[in-house]
Amino acid sequence: MSEVKLKKETNILDVAELENRIKELCQQFPHGITDQVIQNDMPHLEPQQRAMAINKLLSLGQLDLLRNSSGLLYRMKDTQSNSKMKGSDNQEKLVYQVIEDAGNKGIWSRDIRFKSNLPLTEVNKILKNLESKKLIKAVKSVAASKKKVYMLYNLQPDRSVTGGAWYSDQDFESEFVEVLNQQCFKFLQSKAETARDSKQSPMVQRNSSFATSHEVWKYICELGISKVDLSMDDIETILNTLIYDGKVEMTIIAAKEGTVGSVDGQMKLYRGVNAVIQPTGLVRTPCGLCPVFDDCHEGGEISPSNCIYMTEWLDF
Amino acid sequence: MTAQEVRLCGLLLREHFGEVVEKVGTHLLRGGAQNLRTIIHETGISLDLVKKSLCVLVQHGACVFSSGRKGPGSPTEYRTSCDRILRILRYPRYIYTAKTLYGDTGELIIEELLQRGHMTMSSTVKTVADRLTQNMEEGRCMDYSEVATAFAKLVETHFLQRCPPMVKAGTTGSATPATPATPGTPAAPVSTAPPTPESFPDCYKVPHMTLVGRGKRQLCSEEGEDQRNAKKARMDSQTHGDEGISWQVNFERFHLHFRDQAIISAVANKCDQTSSEILRTMLRMSEVTTSPTATCTKPLSANEIFRSLPTSYNIARPILDQYLTLLVDDPMEFVGKAGESGGGMYVVNLHTALANLARATLESVVQERFGSRSARIFRLLLRKRHLEQKQVEDFAMIPAKEAKDMLYTLLSQNLVQLQEIPKTPDFAPSRTFYLYTVNQLPTARMLLQNCYKTVANLIERRLFESKESKRLLEKSQRIEAILASLQASGAEPEQLTEVEEMITATEKQQLEALRLHINKLDSAENQVDESIFLIESYVTSTASTS
Ligand code: SF4
């Protein structure tokens, strides 16, 4: 055996290298690669050699051959499932399949039971088994705190499951949101102030008080207050809360394709604005804020004459 | 008329006219139109007092009377309405506004007319001139003609108007404006439905009046007493040619002014000073051309606006155009564009502005009372109309538990409504959409009632505070009187300090605290009235357009 190997050594090395290169390419393009891609990558390669390498990979079960509209596609086969599923029975494979199909959205154990048509106890046993082999994992969903969903071990859970940037361990990070809310506002406010102080014509002043969502996003990223990566959508969600706070206004303008921060030829502009009125007169009196307003009557248990809120307010 | 309105009216009547008038007034408010006999019977007040109370109310325009509903010959019935009585709350603001617009003279004219209900021009001018003279340095005095000019100005700008002439008994319908509303005899004439003052062509016509002379001092100075007395006698016997024409304050006109002021200051807050000055100019130009109930002003061209801008603003034409464009662009929609001619035609959207200001008022109430995150939810619902709880959480970025809490609190306070939309006819909760909404108009109405209650509470507290310290107040007044008379008789300084010391230090402190409390309550009443004004204007403007 060793003799044979030695004889063919250079050739074998080449083949091994070739196989690795093809696998790398497959990993780079998880959706699959065509013959053309391999050819472009290694132009010096003989078609025969290429075919041999691919055939070998296919026969080893490391590559999948797919057909789509543009021709043949090679795709990496999940090697783990092959190696790790060794020793599993068909039921386990079935459950694994069901979970794999669910992708990174995960699947609920009840649904696994329906899809696999196995009894509940059986499913639970298999799930435990797979979990201990680190083939799958259970993720708590933010949608319902008591609901666990299963997905393959190596998957990054979908936003709908984790809740995206705003959740850590299914807990909504409300303080984080408020901090971002304040920072975004600070940014827009200082921009508006600079614009006001510029003493330019009113139109220029207004226009320079606007910031695109991209600018806000960049500012927040550079601040480095966030441990997780925030997308521009995340920032727009925050900016929207500022709109509902009545502190910010948004305008949508048409933008040239390819301008930074534009989406579908549109750009969202935000600016900080002042409130139209001071706190209204009613809420500047104790009664306007009074928790027992409806129970207060002259001559009653609670009355304006004996009211402690009034006394406090008057002596303030 | 709600219980809150009646309670507040009662308190206002008590403060200004005493308890008997309060009793008659609230009785009329609660019971609707009634004749004299019923009022006496049900209130248990003597005929004389009821008559006098009714006189007071009629004198101030707070009560109207008409022949009975049971056909001719049935007894006259009396009616009051909350609207007019609630205006009492706004008296300080009317007076203050007159002062800022027309100086001390304007202030006193409005004050006198508010205090007396209605008066003839000549007597108003005399009283005001006398009062002004009183406050002037020795030897100077106010000319009648000067006051008369101010009076005419107020009429010209519609802040004053003629009282609608009374119709004589028996001549129902055919107008015989010869009989003036003579205070003290209101029970005699009978008229049909009360006409509005503006339905008379002479409403804003200043009558010819012969009144020459100047204001007099009450405390006589040395200058020729005999001569003065002689003059007085001559004056009083004189007629001035305007007898029988009485004048009253035109509240509606003041309200239009308040409305404009509110819009201007909102623009100043939101945009900048210059924008608000442009708006002020636009509103001033529209004062005469736009009817009081119009939803927006008549279109004004940019050219006209430019010409009318006070030169001191120093706004160049292109800059004005930019400002106008910005105002049109603003989401508050205070200004709208009505066309392109004349460099662009612009209108002020009066009703939209009121609605937006009322909305801001509601938002401010939620914000101050329930915190900024509840206010976020409230604004969100105002913008998006109908939302499920989950959507509220997602848009407002508030954790489920807190959002639920806030929504329920708002719901329990009636600031937010819940709508159920079943997917199936069985109304099963699991197959039903639960949508939260905010209805601006009903919410505004509710807050208006809260405002009335709040003002009433403030007044009650004020009355209570003064009652508590009644003895102390009386004492300090007595001492002040003694001091004044001692000073007048040229007493020794030691004597004065001795009297002064009759009030102890703690008592002084108490008096000071009381004064602070009363001032605070007073200004709070005025502030709440501003909320009332905004919400009321919004509610009436919406009612008149829809
Ligand atoms: S008087 Fe006091 S108890 Fe009554 S409503 Fe006002 S604050 Fe509340």
A286 lines ligand 1 (CB under 6 A): yes
> What is the mean predicted confidence (pLDDT) over B124-150?
79
Contact A194, A139 (CB under 8 A): no
Say if the Cβ atoms of B397 and A237 lie within 8 Å: yes
What Rg value do the Cα atoms of chain B yield, rounded? 28
Cα A309 to ligand 1 centroid, rounded to whole Å: 7
Cβ of residue B460 closer than 8 Å to a chain A Cβ: yes
**How close is the Cα of A8 to the center of ligand 1, in Å?**
98
Among A21-35, A80-94, B274-288, B294-308, the minimum mean pLDDT is found in A80-94
For the residues of B93-121, what is the DSSP string, one character each?
Answer: HHHHHHHHHHHHHHHHHHHHHHHHS-EEH
Among B397, B464, B524, select the one facing A285 at the smallest CB separation. Answer: B524
Beta bridge partners of B161: B248
CA B523 to ligand 1 centroid distance, Å:
17
Strand arrangement, sheet containing A136-140:
A107-108, A148-152, A136-140
| DSSP H or E segment with residue A310 | helix A308-315
In short, whether A177's Cβ falls inside 6 Å of ligand 1 is no
The answer to whether the Cβ–Cβ distance between A281 and B528 falls below 8 Å is yes
Instruction: Establish how many alpha carbons lie within 13 A of residue A296's alpha carbon, considering only the half-sphere containing its beta carbon.
Output: 25
Token couple for B406: 């806030």
Taking residues B250-276, report their average pLDDT.
88
User: Which of B272, B364, B461 has its CB closest to that of A283?
Assistant: B364
pLDDT higher than threshold 50 for residue B22: yes
- The continuous run of DSSP H or E covering A146 comes out as none
CB A228 within 8 A of CB A164: no
Q: How many CB atoms sit inside 10 A of residue B519's CB?
A: 11
The interface predicted TM-score of the complex, written ipTM, equals: 0.75
DSSP helix/strand/coil, B176: coil
How many Å lie between the centroid of ligand 1 and the Cα of residue B458? 9
- Helix/strand/coil for B4: helix
Average pLDDT over residues B85-96: 90
A58 C-alpha vs ligand 1 centroid, how far in Å?
83
| A295 chain-B contacts, CB cut-off 8 A | none
B323 interface with A at CB cutoff 8 Å: yes
Could you say which DSSP state residue A33 is in? B
Give the HSE-up count for residue A305: Cα atoms under 13 Å, Cβ half-sphere.
12
Q: Does residue B351 register a pLDDT over 50?
A: yes
pLDDT digits (tens, 9 = 90+) for B94-126: 999 988 888 888 888 888 888 888 888 888 888
Of residues A15 and B433, more confidence is placed in B433
Contact in structure between B243 and B180 (CB atoms under 8 Å): yes
Give the number of other Cβ atoms within 10 Å of residue B21's Cβ.
23
Distance (Å) from the C-alpha of residue A120 to the closest C-alpha of chain B?
Answer: 26
Contact: A244, B322; criterion CB under 8 Å = no
Among residues B382, B388, B384, B422, the alpha carbon closest in space to that of B403 is found at: B388
Q: Tell me, what's the pLDDT at B245?
A: 79
DSSP code of residue B398: -
Phi, psi dihedral angles at A254 (to 5 degrees): -75, 140
C-alpha–C-alpha distance, residues B357 and A198, integer Å: 29
What pLDDT score was predicted for residue B321? 86
pLDDT(B227) > 60: no
For residue B473, the model assigns a pLDDT of: 82
Q: Is pLDDT at B404 greater than 80 in this prediction? A: yes
CB-hemisphere CA count at 13 Å for A269? 13
The pLDDT, as a whole number, for residue A21 is 79
Q: What is the pLDDT of residue B426?
A: 77
Contacts of A294 in chain B (CB under 8 A): none
In B309-439, alpha helices (H): 317-329, 350-370, 372-384, 389-396, 400-412
In this predicted structure, what is the pLDDT of residue B244? 74
The Cα B133–Cα B223 span in angstroms is 15
pLDDT at position B200 = 67
Three-state SS string across A251-300, please?
EEEECCCCCCCCECCEEEEEEECCCCCCCCHHHHCCHHHCCCHHHECCCC
Encode pLDDT of A152-168 as tens digits: 777 777 766 666 666 66
Average pLDDT over residues B342-352: 86
Q: What pLDDT digit, counting tens, does each position of A102-115 carry?
A: 777 778 777 788 77
What distance in Å separates the CA atoms of residue A127 and residue A108, rounded to the nearest whole number?
11
Can you list the alpha helix ranges (DSSP code H) found in A34-173? 35-41, 47-59, 79-84, 90-102, 109-116, 120-132, 159-162
Mean pLDDT estimate for chain B = 80
Place B535 in a pLDDT band, splitting at 50, 70 and 90.
very high
Residue of B221, B346, B339, B223 lying closest to B275 (CA atoms): B346
| Mean pLDDT of all residues in B325-330 | 86
Question: What chain A residue is nearest to B447 in terms of C-alpha separation?
Answer: A282
Q: pLDDT above 90 covers what percent of chain B?
A: 5
Put residue B250 in one of left, alpha, beta given phi > 0 → left and psi -120 to 50 → alpha: beta
Chain B residues with beta carbon closer than 8 angstroms to that of A207: none
- Sign of the dihedral defined by the CA atoms of residues A275, A277, A282, A286, in that order: positive
Write down the pLDDT at residue B211: 64
- Chain A residues whose C-beta is within 8 A of a chain B C-beta are 166, 172, 174, 177, 181, 196, 201-203, 206, 237-238, 240-241, 244-246, 249, 273-285, 287-289, 293, 296, 298, 303-305, 307, 310, 313-315
Is residue B68 predicted with pLDDT exceeding 80?
A: no
Q: Please report, in angstroms and rounded to a whole number, the separation of the first and last CA atoms in chain A.
A: 99
Nearest residue (CA) to ligand 1, atom 1: A304
What is the rounded (10 degree) CA torsion for B166, B171, B172, B177? -30
Q: Tell me the range of A84-93, A128-137, B83-92, B467-476 where mean pLDDT is highest.
A: B83-92
pLDDT of residue B533: 92
Q: How far is it, in rounded angstroms, from Cα B471 to Cα B475? A: 6
CB-closest option in B266, B275, B531 to A281: B531
Quote the tokens at residue A120: 């509940």
**For range B20-36, the mean pLDDT:** 83
Q: Show Cβ contacts of residue B310 under 8 Å, excluding neighbours closer than 6 positions.
A: B277, B281
Most ligand 1 atoms within 8 A of CB, residue of A282, A289, A294, A302 to mutate: A302
According to DSSP, the residues that pair with A254 across neighbouring strands are: A266
- Which one-letter amino acid corresponds to residue B183? P
Torsion sign across C-alpha atoms B101, B107, B112, B117: positive
Mean pLDDT of A70-96: 67
A and B: number of Cβ contacts within 8 A: 140
β-strand pairing of B300-301 with B345-348: antiparallel
